[in-house]
Structure 1
Amino acid sequence: MATAVDDNGNVYVAGFFQGTASFGSITLTSQTDAPDVFVAKWSPFTNAFIWAQRAGGAHAERAMAIAVSGTNVYVFGEFLSPTASFGATTLFNSSSIVPGSTSSDLFVAKLTDEGSTSSFVWAQRAGSAWGDFATAMAVSGSSIYITGYFEGIYTLLGTNRFLNFGPDNTTDAFVAKLTDSGSSASVVWAQHIRGAAGSEQSLALAASGNSIYVAGWFGGPTVNLESQGLANGGGADGFVGKITDAGTSATFAWAQRISGSRDELVSALAVNGTNVYVTGFFNTDILPLGSTTLANAGIGTDVFVTKLTDTGNFVWGQHAGGTANDYARSIAVRGTDVYVAGDFSSDTARFGSTTLINTGSGTPWLRCLCNQAYRHRQFRLGAACREQWQ
């Protein structure tokens, strides 16, 4: 589900597996036939995996994000098991106190990379008796930033208790900071992204010094990022916001919407200096991005890429895709080069002067009829809404 690279070019991967999984000569076995977490390190010098670790319990656990800072490796995800073990640390799922309830809690875990081996140092949980979902993580020094969303009545992030103000089967989003104190960690502050109706989901996160950037989408008429309020232009709208970390507290500096007459979803963001790059997909006919307007090439979803200043103003926008559904999933920036990756089900998809030809029928994607979420057929179908799909 996620990768990270350290200063020496080592590649760290995290995700989930069932049964037995081989990482070169290293074999991991899940505790039961349900998915467990894996974290592994691959060396570009030996072209081989150096170490691999598993974590989990009797039910399903998934690592969704990974970040590396020096010899510290951080993993963020979800666990369904009543108890889940991360090395010597055991986390207890809060839904286990409610008879008959099985919902995911959040976990953040730290490993120390000792070169040829690794070990879990600590693990922290967050969440409530309802579903809590992990999407992205960023690290700056000893500060660990996480984002995701939750369903149900409320969630707990350290001492922060956030109420879901939407109706049943809707989600609210959050951003939280943990401080790594070496042998342990704790939640320092948390921010609530909420609306009065509909769902809000944060899907992307980046950190640059004490500036934290978060992006996602909202389906209700309005969304509040602290004192920053955004109005919906129709369907689901994207949002991008900047948080200033003041140490033990934080505030939203600005928020910007990505809005047309139908659906616009932000899936990833990257930051370089004072430049903020955002990508996602849209199915509205015309998508305005400041003074730039993008026209949809067909009746499905097209890719967009846009650059904003550090004050939240659009600089430029680019469009890609074909007549069917095309999606951007991730983005990275290095200097003035911006890289975007995703998938397309159109017969042909245009990226500027380059045209890609689809060699098959494409992988079907599902859209929730109640506009709660977009999910891959092989991923979590309807983290927030498990009802009607098309």
Structure 2
Amino acid sequence: MKKLLTRTFGGYWVGLILFLVLARPSAFAQAPAWQTAVATDQVGFPRISEVSATTTDANGNVYAVGTFTSTTTFGNTTLTPTGNYLNLFVAKWSTASRSFVWAQQAGSDGRFAMHVRSIAVNGNNVYISGSFSGDGTFGAISVPPPTNPNQLSTNFIAKLTDAGTSASFAWVQPGVGASALAANGTSVYAAGPFYPTLTLGSTVLTNPYQLGGSFVTKFTDTGTGPVFVWAKQCGALNYGTITALAVEGANVYVSGYFYSNTALFDAITLTNTTQFAGGVTATACDAFVAKLTDAGSTASFTWAQQVRGTGFDLALALAVNGPSVYVAGYYGSNNVNPAGPAYPPASFGTIALPNSGTYDAFVAKITDAGTTSSYAWAQRGGGTGMDSATAVTVRGNNVYVAGAYDSQQADFGTTTLSNARSMTRGLSRDIFVTKLVDAGTSSSFAWAQQAGGSEGDYANSIALVGANVMVAGAAGPSASFGSQTINTASGQSTYNQVGFLASLTDPTLTATTAAKGDLRFSLAPNPARTTATVQLPAVPGATAAALTLTDALGRTLRNETVPLSAASRRHELDLRGLAPGLYAVQVQVEGTRDVQRLVVE
């Protein structure tokens, strides 16, 4: 479950300040207190820094990616930028030691800033995506500038190898501009915009429109570079993009938005709520969520859903838990569309959400039924200002959303958060983190927590490590996370912004709940014919596991409950009656799952 966004940041880092406070007791519906906040301590201007995206591994480590402009210290590692402006960093944070383990950087000598958009981890392989101008330097790897003089920057996907206490760049693939990455087994998925052409292996995608289209691709990692297996063109032909990507088994989900009159997903066509004679507009867009089925060497779109409205409706984040797909973003208007109401509502299937003013944040659940889907519920949050959900993650029936709110007061269910605004120029955003409880066909807010100061603060990502809810983004001067204050230096917010990594503890996420990726099981023989033996792991506190077998189209063929006793954790999976082909076996215990592919002969 990955999600990510892109902004710019940098700054003069002379150290990292770690603030720790003891947890206060939390009752149900009481927001947990902030536990840690790690931020940059910068001197001089500009003071612009940000954590763009994070992800986690099975050992409780958090991987953060972002950009910086001046000398920066991560634990025992000091990075000094090269070139004229923003460099990127990749850092590994240990939740056990509450310290950085290693950090790496990349830079360029171009006129424009270096950007980083996404990160994904699979074992000791760390993948990042972004762009740079001029010559790019990734450790010992150099990437020349584009030969086309009209091409101002180079998109890339890069891989680092995590050696435990150190890391190094293994390869860089230029020419692929992914706004989202996801890793699943030996496969890595990437999605994003392109124009006018994009070559991925033997596939060449072409888009004749000036504002470009979107792609989704799968590649395998040979160790020295990627081998692209398939690539799909999708979404708006003109003016739209993919913002997030999530993968579970053979199911690949993408979200984004489109300004054009239509968006195409193979034979599926979505029609924009607002139609324009020129075919595209900058004053209204609809959001989408679409599913692909990965059949191994090919893929096809299975279904697509839409968030409809007459204003701006954007899907920015995705998370998946079995057949439940969660999407988050914002909807509303900035009053530039005279054809619609000032603050238009948004429709999620048959569910309509009102708008409190300008932009409201949303989170919605889609139930994936295989070849079809439907909205189960949708929730809004915010007030009269510009409010947005930018990150979502899930464990079991606990759904966590992070973002920013510009409203003086923002409502999340029965909880009202106040803004510490005193800003007279631009936006004065505070950070919000909220938890919802998914009841199947409905949901409710459990709590909401706030962080920030008098200027601009926002969250870019959210992740779960044990009982810790990890939030990352950027904060302006004197931003408070409960009793902890970071970025105490004064200065105009445009030039005084620091990246942060903060956490709070949700007591309902017990320590006995296995971290994502810990639920590894064995499957033999593979390929198989009539039966396959599933060897389940021991999970503290768990008594049963849910086993699901799906085909290449995502259709559920077997649903079984398997006891997790100390005496036996072996289960014989009956394959009789199945046609030869590729299948997915999923084992889930509470909110943790593992998926493996099974070939039936």
TM-score (norm 2): 0.56
C-alpha separation between the residues in 1 aligned to 2:474 and 2:158?
25
2:172 to 52, 69, 81: 52
Please state how far the C-alpha of 1:358 moved relative to its aligned partner. 4.3
Counterpart position of 2:469: 338
Q: Distance in 2 between matches of 1:354 and 1:317?
A: 18
Which residue does the alignment assign to 1:234?
A: 357
- The structure-2 alpha-carbon separation of the partners of 1:11 and 1:363, relative to structure 1 and needing over 3 Å to count, comes to farther
1:184-218, CA deviations, whole angstroms, 9 ceiling, x for partnerless residues?
Answer: 111111001111x2110010101111111000101
Change (3 A) 1:317 1:128: closer
Q: Distance in 2 between matches of 1:340 and 1:86?
A: 34
Q: 1:288 Cα deviation (Å)?
A: 1.9
CA shift, 1:31, in A, is: 5.0
Q: Which amino acid aligns with 2:429?
A: T
The answer to whether residue 125 in structure 2 is matched with residue 5 in structure 1 is no
Q: How many residues align?
A: 350
Give the conservation status (yes or no) of the 8 Å contact 1:282–1:302: yes
Pair 1:76–1:129, CA change in 2 (3 A): closer
What is the deviation of 1:231? 0.8
Which residue type is aligned with residue 356 of structure 1?
I
What is the match of residue 153 of structure 2? Answer: 35
Alignment check: 8 A CA contact 2:236 2:259 kept:
no
Q: Relative to 1, partners in 2 of residues 1:361 and 1:259: Cα closer, same or farther, differing over 3 Å?
A: closer
Structure 2, unpaired ranges of 5+: 1-116, 276-280, 333-342, 423-427, 497-601
* One-letter amino acid of the counterpart of residue 318, structure 2: L
Residues 153-173 of structure 1 deviation map (CA, whole Å, 9 limit, x = unaligned): 111122121111236421110
**CA displacement at 1:44 relative to structure 2:** 1.4
Quote how far apart the aligned CAs of 1:264 are.
1.4
User: Hey, what's the Cα distance between the residues in 2 that align with 1:144 and 1:326?
Assistant: 32
| Alpha-carbon distance in structure 1 between the residues aligned to 2:190 and 2:383 | 35
Give structure 1 stretches of 5+ with no counterpart.
Answer: 57-61, 366-390
Q: Judge conservation of contact 1:289–1:317 (CA < 8 Å) in 2.
A: yes
When normalised by structure 1's length, the TM-score is 0.85
CA distance in 2, matches of 1:65, 1:127: 15
1:76 maps to 191
1:38-187 aligned at under 5 Å gives the runs 38-45=156-163, 47-55=167-175, 62-81=177-196, 83-93=197-207, 96=208, 101-166=209-274, 168-169=281-282, 170-187=284-301
Structure 1 residue 9 displacement after superposition: 3.1
Shift of 1:87: 2.2
Corresponding residue for 2:388? Answer: 265
Could you tell me which amino acid in structure 2 is paired with residue 190 of structure 1?
A
Pairwise mapping of residues 185-334 of structure 1 onto structure 2 (< 5 A)?
A: 185-195=299-309, 197-219=310-332, 220-299=343-422, 300-311=428-439, 312-334=443-465
Alignment partner of 1:363: what SS? helix
1:355 and 2:469 matched:
no
Aligned residue identity for 1:55: G
Q: Aligned-pair RMSD on alpha carbons?
A: 1.8
Aligned 8 A contact 1:55 1:87 in 2? no
Corresponding position: 1:15 with 2:145:
no
Distance 2:143 2:300 in 1: 30
CA apart distance, 1:364: 6.4
